[in-house]
Structures are given as C-alpha cells and as structure tokens.
Structure 1
Amino acid sequence: MKEKESKNITETPFGYTLSLISGKWKMIILYLLSEHEVIRYNELQRKIGGITYKMLSSQLKELESDELINRKEYPMIPPKVEYSLTNRGKSLIPILDGMCRWGSKERPELLCIV
C-alpha cells in the first residue's frame, strides 16, 4: 500500500507535533509543569527566568488553546491562577524525557532535574 505523499514536513505527524511544542519556551513550560504538577503563574515565570510577562502569557494561551495545559483561575483579589498539564499534555512528557536522557548521555555533568 502506497502512503499518501505530503507536500512538506508541516503536513506530517512530525510537523504537527513540532507545531505544538516549537518555540523557545513551550517545551520548558511543559517540562516544568510535569515536574511540579500544579504551578502558579509567578512561580512559573521565576523558574523559567528570562521570559517576559507578555511572552509567558502568549505561550500559556497557545498551550491552553492546543489543550496541552489547564488554566484554573480562582475568584480572588489579587487573582490566583494555576496551571497544570492535561492528559494530552502529559502524553508529550515521554518525548521530553527522551530529550533529557539524550542530553544526559551527551553531557553527563548535567542533570534533568528542574
């Protein structure tokens, strides 16, 4: 059976997966959420370091839109917002863990702990 040819890499399963996690911050956000399960916005920003408020907000909105993370807002002043992985987001963690294992082999002095 001949497989359907794609016009370019973006029209493949690999391209689709990459579109969900591409960019400088998305994989870092997902990895931190896998380590901490539930994390508040300010704590997430502190742990990432070097990310602007606007960029973090944008990346979180995209991840939420792609159903990779949950956003839970509590009605209080100041607002309390927590983020966690969805089951769909959790299904990407083995890929990130594989990347961490590869990095550990290449640079054994580094740890995969965030």
Structure 2
Amino acid sequence: MLPGWGVANSPARPLLCSTPPGIVAFNGQRCRTLRNFALGALKEFGLGTRTIEDRVLEEAPCLLGEFQDSVGAPFDPRRLLDNAVSNVMCSVVFENRYGYEDPEFLRLLDLFNDNFCIMSSR
C-alpha cells in the first residue's frame, strides 16, 4: 500500500463524504490545506509528543480498574475502550478526563455513536 497522498483517491464512503466536504476523505488542494491545518492544531495540543503518551499512561490504570471490577461476570469491553480512548482525547483537548459512569460523558458518547451509525447507513 502506498503511503500518504498515493492513496488519496480511494473510493468514497458515505460517513466521510458529507456536505460540506471534511478533512478525512476529500481530495485536492483544499483537502491538503485543511489536513495541514488540522494536523497543526493537533500538534499544538500535543499530538506527536510525549504528552499524548503521558495521558495514555494516566488513563490505563483507570481502564484496568474497570476491567478488574467486572471479574467473574461477562461484559463487552467495547464500551470501556470507547470511554478510555475518548478520555485520552478529552484530556488532550480539554485537559479534563471523565469518569466512566459520568452521565453527561456517556450521553455524549451515545450521541456520537448514534451519529456514526446514521452517517454510515447513507
């Protein structure tokens, strides 16, 4: 597989191709400019630095604790993993993490997942 722009003209996916075009699956100079802007903004938040690693290391014991709380009972780890990844992103962007049982955080994750399902079914 070719790296970078060599695969930029891949087939369209309804979730990624919306109006107005986003930064994920749009081609051309505008896309390149938007991607560069987004990467620059993410780098300011710590992407590509040890800061991200520190935040992952901060979240890992919380996730492990949630796994340990469910010992002996069947559970679906997807929800916990979604929470952990979202918490890492929130701690980078907002400098705040949320508890796995925080109702506002869970509602936002549900809304995001619902939106993802709706957009991918087009």
What's the TM-score once normalised by structure 1's chain length? 0.30
The structure number with the bigger radius of gyration is 2
Answer 1 or 2: which has greater strand percent: 1
Answer 1 or 2: which has greater helix percent: 2
Higher relative contact order (CA 8 A, sep 6+): 2
